[in-house]
Amino acid sequence: MAKNSLISGSIWDEYSNQVVNRMNNPKHQGEITEERAAALGAKLIVADFGAESCGDAVRLYWAVDEKDDRILESKFKSFGCGTAIASSDVMAELCIGKTVDQAVKITNIDVEFALRDNAETPAVPPQKMHCSVMAYDVIKKAAAEYKGVDMESFETEVIVCECARVSLGTIREVIRINDLTTVEQITDYTKAGAFCKSCIRPGGHEEKDIYLVDILADVRAEMAEEKMKSAADASAAGTLSFEKMTLVQRIKAIDSVLDSDIRPMLVMDGGNMEIIDIKENLPHFDLYIRYLGSCSGCSSGSSGTLYAIESVLQQKIDENIRVLPI
């Protein structure tokens, strides 16, 4: 049967030749028997792992030299799609010659990269990237069997995107450092959500404990709260920049300077002034004022007095303040 009779040629072309070759002719498929392990002077380890999302399952065989924990031989059996078979074959190959502790560090990213025809082109389409995750998980299961521990003990971080092996800590840090506001930006920066997309939001290929949309919302809320607290603390300490102030804070800051440096002189001449509004016209801040009393009809209100008010406010608050009488 022609390959294009089952799937479109364009999708087929997204698989590397390595994947196709290992799918059709896996090098390490089979089993290691007790007799074979004994002949090698090794301990036989058999580990099973299944992907609930698609029903695929893989069994990994290790013959481990207990003197140095080195994996002498590695084979697999798989009930799964072609991508799962190819991934499992490379996974078994990567384990050979490594110690158990070294093998645990093999990730699905390593497996996918080993299946590439060239370093720049992914070996499988994004929606099939999750197939290599099963290979990573069964290694942890085998290592746990050998060491007599729980497989979760090998996971030091909470992994949000298993396809790209991106942790919760990394995603939170990237959002903060780069001030990210969308899931698409998270994917651009970390590759989380770029493959099977299950980790983006509920309803994807696999159910997750935590999703990118939730992480983004939580971190943005934390950042907003921290920003408000920082602004409040700076305001209380008198160190908040004029640009960072709220409208109320800006009016209070200007009123404080006017009361100490400007209004006493105006009142002595029977006048006064009030703030009407402050508008941002970046880089300037336009302060609209109204003269009161004798100042309202004084010619210097648009020349000398105006210049004095503006100069004091620029020196004591922000050099970009412009005073506009109305």
* Nearest in space to 212 (alpha carbons), one of 195, 196, 197, 199: 199
Q: In angstroms, what is the C-alpha Rg of the chain?
A: 34
- How many helices (H) and strands (E) in the chain? 13, 8
Q: What is the DSSP string of 94-122?
A: HHTTSBHHHHHT--HHHHHHHT-SSTTS-
Measured distance CA(113)–CA(97) in Å, rounded: 19
Q: Is 18 helix (H, G, I), strand (E, B) or coil?
A: helix
Letter for the amino acid at 182?
A: T
Q: Is 131 a catalytic residue?
A: yes
Given 131, 196, 199, 295, which residue is catalytic? 131
Measured distance CA(296)–CA(4) in Å, rounded: 86
| 257 token code pair | 């300077």
**Alpha-carbon distances of 265 from 253, 257, 271, 272, 287, rounded to whole Å:** 19, 13, 9, 9, 19
Q: Is 54 a catalytic residue?
A: yes
Which string of b and e fits 292-322 if b means at least 16 CB within 10 Å?
eeebeebeebeeebbeebeebbeeebbeebe
CB 302 within 8 Å of CB 291? no
Helices (H), 191-323: 212-237, 247-257, 263-268, 304-316
CB 143 within 8 Å of CB 100? yes
Give the residue numbers marked as catalytic: 54, 131
